Chains A and B, each alone.
Chain A
Amino acid sequence: MTADAKRPKREKPSFKNLGRAIRFLGHYRNITIAAYVALFLSTGAQLLVPQLVQNILDAVTRGMMAQQLATQPAQVQSTVVSQAGMTMEEFNSILANPLAPLYWSIALILVLAVVRGLFAFAQSYMSEKAGQSVAFDFRNELFAKIQRLSFSYHDRNRTGQLMIRATDDVEKVRLFIGQGLLLAVQAVVLLTGALIMLLFTNLQLTLVILPILPVAMVMFMVFGGVTQPLFVKVQQKLSTLNTVLQENLAGIKVVKAFATEPTEQKRFDAAADDLMNQQITVARIFSFLFPVIFLIAQLGQAAVLYFGGNQIIAGTLTIGEWQKFSLYLVYVFFPLGQLGFIISQMSQAAASANRVYEILDAHNEVTDKPDAKPLPPVEGAVVFDGVSFRYFGSTDLVLNDVSFSAEPGQTVAILGATGSGKSSVINLIPRFYDVTGGRILIDGNDVRDVTIESLRRQIGIVLQETNLFTGTIRDNIAFGRPDATDEEVEAAAQAAAAHDFITGFPEGYATPVGERGTTLSGGQKQRIAIARALLLNPRILILDDSTSAVDVQTEVLIQNALDRLMEGRTSFVIAQRISTVLTADNIIVLEKGKIVAQGRHADLIESSPIYADIYRSQLVEDPAGETAILAGTEMEVAQ
């Protein structure tokens, strides 16, 4: 069962990674060994019981016959006894105490019941425990890896996919390691043991049964092979149905607004019918396969009854042996069935292990150099020196020979159309990606030569979309500095214009947020993000100064907070507002990854037509700017 050569269709799964996963059991050597020792003991007990049943039945028949014989004259007795190959002493001891072997056997069965119960429990518990522990290790490793993988990896992989690997796939591997593997070994041990017992009991009868075994084996394999894809199909149809349901629940307002209920119902009904028909197909195949498999096993029993019966009548087999034989036969069919299922489980587990290792083996593009040193406290001089950059797997340069520098405390505004490379510029500074060519220096240190943590701890970032994490508002503000005091947190919140709305909540700073907490509005989240960055008190600041989905008042609050945040820090801003570019020390205008203009507003507005164009078309919508226009007009009118 180690090779999977005979499986038809589907890609031949590689079992290498499943093997690697199994090796994780090495971390739990003692418990694993204990599980397998328990397995041998419990299976041994299981194999002994039919033998004892035979002993009882044989003792009964022998005793009965002895009693029958005892009524005969002594002469007859001795002749018959010697014909049966017994001595008179044996015969007499049977006669004198026919129950002795019975008591022994009963006592032994009771002992075996206890042994079997204890060790069967031990084997399954220990193995499950080992499986859970391996899954624990796996999840930890996956989590750690995912947390550290660079942005470019996360650009290529969606949260949902990664989630499934850390949950479903780990679970499938765990099922195999915690149960499947043990059951497979148990099946093999039981099968071998039972076959040996059968052979020793009666060779002739075993040979009668033997041809049924391959047939049964094939049936079980077919069963595993046929049902697995069926379940996959059911799952697909089910998820189609659920998607319709999910969309209609989440998008109920759209459905109602467009009055498309009838079409949606048709869609749902079609999906429901589809699922039902698939389920019925499954039911049909199961209703056929299951009874057929049972029938094969039962035919085996019938054959044993007939051929064994013939032998009993001929006197070459005892009734006890025959009963034992049919009990062992159950022990042959049962593991065969088990193996059939485990094989399909194993190929699933192998596929899952491959997916899990795809993550664990993923190359992390951004890592500390072996001799990386911590970045000393930053002054704030940032230099882009001939930087070019392309995304993983792409041939197009997103940034092409970009050079500029920022003195400590300066504000650099970055302008350009969508896709011009604005976000790449800011993502390279904290080394979310590595440059493809050129270098980036902070206070003269190449960012690739210092430790990532020391670099990122000194850079504050505020992006347009803010994720909050489960915990209190305080926890979220102190996200980058969990050791901050309450005073510091409050001061940061105050500067970010967040203090008022936070204290407006009944629980204030202790208000839980995130997945299971209070939902904050976009504007509130943005202010938390500003407070979070302020608390770090970074020398270098990266931000996106656009605001969206907030009302005018909030927008003004946020923009004031952003301005406070930038004071005295080297700031890189993806600029959306007039006010930012007007006050910027350096404006960088990007087009298709190249700097097409750079300088201050006053110079650029004269010298760069592209800047003038962007300035007019992109930045005028600043609500504050517009107010100024209005107010200006009015002032002019007033004057």
Chain B
Amino acid sequence: MIGGPRGMLEQEVSKPRSVGKTLGRLTGYFRPYWLVLAGVLVLMVVNAWVQVVTPAMLGQAVDCYLTPAVTAQVATDVANVAAQDQTQPVAAPVTKSDFTCWFGTVPPGSPTSDYVAGLGRLVLALIAIFVLGAITGGLMFYSMGWAGQHVLRNIQEEVFAHLHKLSLGYYSRNESGDLMSRITNDTSTLQQAISFALVQVLSGVLLLVWISWNMLSLNWAYALLSLAVVPFMAIATVWFSGQARKAFRVTRQEIGNVNAELEESISGVREVQAFSREDANIEAFRTSNAANRDANVRAVAYTSALAPSLEALGYVAIAIVAGVGGIFMLQGQTLGGSAVTLGLIIAFIGYVQRFNQPIAQIAVLWTNIQSAIAGAERIFELLDEQPEIVEKFDAKPMPSIQGKVVFNNVWAEYKQGEPVLKQIDLTAEPGQTIAIVGPTGAGKTTLVNLLPRFYDVTGGSVTIDGADVRDVTLESLRRQIGVVLQDSFLFSDTVTNNIRYGRPEATEAEVIEAARLARAHDFIERLPDGYNTVLGERGAGLSQGQRQLLSIARAALSDPKLLILDEATSSVDTRTERQIQAALDQLLAGRTSFVIAHRLSTIRNADQVLVLVKGEIIERGTHEELLAAQGFYYDLYMSQFQRQEQVVQASQPSNGQPPLRMAGQSA
């Protein structure tokens, strides 16, 4: 319908170009929720503290109660034996622990119940800390989710409102399918990032730093040894996930091919069978299906390697912690200036076990955040897209249209320097029907699109009742203009709601009347739920012709002052078209109308016929005048006449009388 090259597909997920700017703008959306975010930060710190303190508490349990209890036991045994032998026992060596015992130390020689009591206090505190962790963790995710969802909703609503502001020119450059998938993809990555990934990554980083800090301050040398595997973990994660992403990029293409092939072969299955192409198609499908499988297998090789390599490194870390710690402890050497205790080993085992998960998470979610920023960037780009058609700030409502339409030396172009309409002058008096004929691509649709200001002229002016369409408000203008398009778009809603789309307040009776006028009533009645039948996506389930009838009914009900029919009946079968011709005549009566049609009846009755070729009106006049002029219009008809003559000759021998008369009778 509209010329110009189709927009280039941008399927490749790109990295954000200006992270700072995009993040800054995104932050703006969070401003109303800053209090919640501050709360989230506090919760995050508390939650991380819980995670950090837990291994330390286990270390305390060992160093403050368990080890002393065990050594005391040995000491008691020794003391007992020594008492029998009357030898002086040597005091047990006391290893200084790096942990301060929060719940009190037990002096040597105390009964075992003291150890148990101390341990009990510690376990109770531990349980309290666990509960605190659960509460803060839950609240943190909930609050962030809540704020994130609100932000997302606000962005979505802004985007949607902006989409309505963009002019049709934008939609001719960007296919609706592409726009759709871009918007849904970008918002869904953004949604994941702000309600989930962001918190995960932030708290993961916090946890890693805090744990490392804690380990370092407990025993820096032991900590460095224990953390030796972390760089390898980071490298493994980054490398494997990077490779996996690259591989998955291929799988996306491959599954795209598979889906395209499926879609095509299923929707065209009747032709496939009619031309016996089943075997060839099955063979072709096998190939792309196999390519998809192979690409996926290649990708899962990387994803399958990620977790095991981290796990293996985790085991190495445990071996280092337990082994090195044990060796230094047994040899009684100090490490980093202080002795290693069993509690320290236990705590460090707990710490290194907590490393695996955040590292993997950060690696995986980091790219999610990255592409979310890129997505946000694209969303902002869309929001920054300037609508070409904007109301003037002093636009006044269009008064009730009488119907005098004047095109005054109108030029229009979609691309600079390639005019689609050249020097169009025309005047339609109120109530007149203007028919536009011409070959495909001549600019017929462009011409009528200027009336409801779907596009703006690049030169000259279009006036209705003397008012330039650019000087009035869009809504007041469009509300008074009815448009019936060749590709009639219906909404997935009931038939009734589709018909009263332009006038939601219309009564049931008015809807039925409009449907009758458009000759749609009968088939609507035959639908499963009549007027309440919910139509499938884009009116699926109805034939193209039926959809056109519904959109004629829709236009009729909105009772426009000015009517545009753009190939409105092209898909209606000839018989129905004959029927609705009367309805159309009724509809056109008293309204100024512009009709693009290839059927001749409408054209013949038009007050003016414009012949448009390559953007220029090359002939104009009534049907009879144009025939008499013997120009382009005449040629069009003559070419058919000659053909008809052959048919007449061919049919004459078998037919007593000339068929012309017969046809003439019925005309």
Contacts and interface: CB of A to CB of B under 8 A. Distances in A.
B485 interface: yes
B457 interface: no
Nearest to A521: B440
A625 B663 contact: yes
Interface string B496-533: 00000110100000000000000000000000000000
B38 interface: no
Given A287-B141, A313-B115, A479-B277, A132 B346 contact: no
B262 A167 contact: yes
A247 B177 CA distance: 10
Given A60-B345, A135-B293, A313-B115, A469 B268 contact: yes
Taking residues whose C-beta sits less than 8 angstroms from the other chain, chain A's interface range is 35 or more
Nearest to A247: B491
Interface stretch (B59-67, B371-379, B424-432): B59-67
Interface footprint category on B: 35 or more
A516 interface: yes
B614 interface: no
B392 to A, nearest CB: 17
B65 A272 contact: no
A interface secondary structure, majority: helix
A250 to B, nearest CB: 5
B319 A109 contact: yes
Interface in B234-287: 255, 258-278, 280-282, 285-286
A60 B119 contact: no
A548 B571 contact: yes
A480 B277 contact: yes
Interface string B293-324: 10011001101110111011101101100110
Nearest to A125: B304
A136 B127 contact: no
Contact of B66 (A144, A295, A319, A515): A319
A546 B571 CA distance: 10
B260 A76 contact: no
Contacts of A625: 644, 663
B598 A555 contact: yes
Contact of B300 (A56, A128, A560): A128
Contacts of B504: 263
Contacts of A264: 164
A596 interface: no
A630 B627 CA distance: 10
A407 B635 CA distance: 39
Given A53-B322, A118-B308, A551 B329 contact: no
A551 B598 contact: yes
Interface stretch (B86-94, B202-210, B212-220, B459-467): B86-94
Interface string A213-244: 00000000000000000000000000001110
A168 B489 CA distance: 28
Interface string B560-597: 00000001001101110110000000000000000000
Central interface residue in B292, B540, B651, by most chain A CB within 10 Å: B651
A148 interface: yes
A125 B654 CA distance: 77
A634 B432 CA distance: 27
A4 interface: no
Contacts of B13: none
B439 interface: yes
Contacts of A362: none
B69 interface: yes
A627 to B, nearest CB: 4
A147 B273 CA distance: 7
A199 B582 CA distance: 90
A129 interface: yes
Contact of A132 (B277, B297, B538): B297
Quick one: which of A163, A578, A632 has the most chain B CB within 10 A? Answer: A632
A129 B298 CA distance: 9
Interface in A56-83: 56-57, 59-61, 63-65, 67-69, 71-73, 75-76, 79-80, 83
Contacts of B483: 253-254, 257
Given A136-B293, A272-B156, 14 more contacts: A106-B322, A249-B171, A280-B145, A286-B141, A286-B145, A312-B69, A315-B73, A323-B349, A432-B273, A461-B274, A515-B263, A536-B275, A627-B637, A629-B667
25 contacts: A57-B345, A60-B326, A65-B71, A65-B74, A76-B87, A76-B89, A125-B305, A139-B289, A167-B259, A246-B180, A250-B176, A254-B485, A258-B501, A264-B164, A287-B142, A306-B119, A309-B119, A548-B570, A576-B573, A578-B659, A582-B651, A601-B654, A618-B574, A621-B577, A628-B641
Closest 4 CB pairs of A and B: A117-B312, A283-B145, A628-B644, A291-B134
